[in-house]
Amino acid sequence: MTEYLTNYMKYIQERLEKCQSSEELDEIMAEHKDKIAFMQHERIVHFLVTMLFAFILIVFFAVLIFKVNLAVLALVTIVLVLLMFYIKHYYFLENTVQKMYKVYDSILEKQKKLKESAK
C-alpha cells in the first residue's frame, strides 16, 4: 500500500502539472476523488485494526501483571511489535490522505484559473 500510494501521488502531481485543458482537469478530479474515497476507507480499516491490537496488548499486559508467565511475555512482545508496525503504517496513511486533500485543493484552484482564462 505504501508503494502504491507513493507512486499514485507522483503520478497525480505530474499529470496535474502537464494538464492544460478543462476536460482533462475534470477527469483528473474525478479520478482523484475516487482515490481519496478508497484511501479514507483504507485509513478507517487500519485505524480499527490498530485499536484492536492496542486493546489486545492491554489485555495481554494485564494478564502478564497478574500472572508472570514466559508465554504471556512472548505474546505481549509479539503484539507490541505488530502494534508498532500498524501505527507506523497508519501514520503514513493519515499523512498521505492529508496530502491528497491538498492536491484536491490545487486541482480546484487550477480549475478556477482555467475557467477565468477561458472567459
The whole-number pLDDT of residue 78 equals: 94
Question: Is the pTM of the predicted complex or chain greater than 0.95?
Answer: no
- Which three-class secondary structure state does DSSP give residue 19? coil
Where exactly are the structural domains of the chain?
34-114
Please, what's the b/e burial string for 57-96 (b: 16 or more CB within 10 A of its CB; e: otherwise)? beebeeeeeeeeeeebeebbeebeeebeebeebbebbeeb
CA angle 34, 94, 85 (to 5 degrees): 120
CB-based burial label for 25 (10 Å; 0-12, 13-18, 19+): buried
Mean per-residue pLDDT pooled into runs of 10, the chain (119 residues)? 88 87 86 92 92 94 90 93 93 92 91 79
Q: What is the DSSP letter of 52?
A: H
Confidence at residue 76, expressed as pLDDT on a 0 to 100 scale: 93
What is the per-residue pLDDT for 119?
A: 65
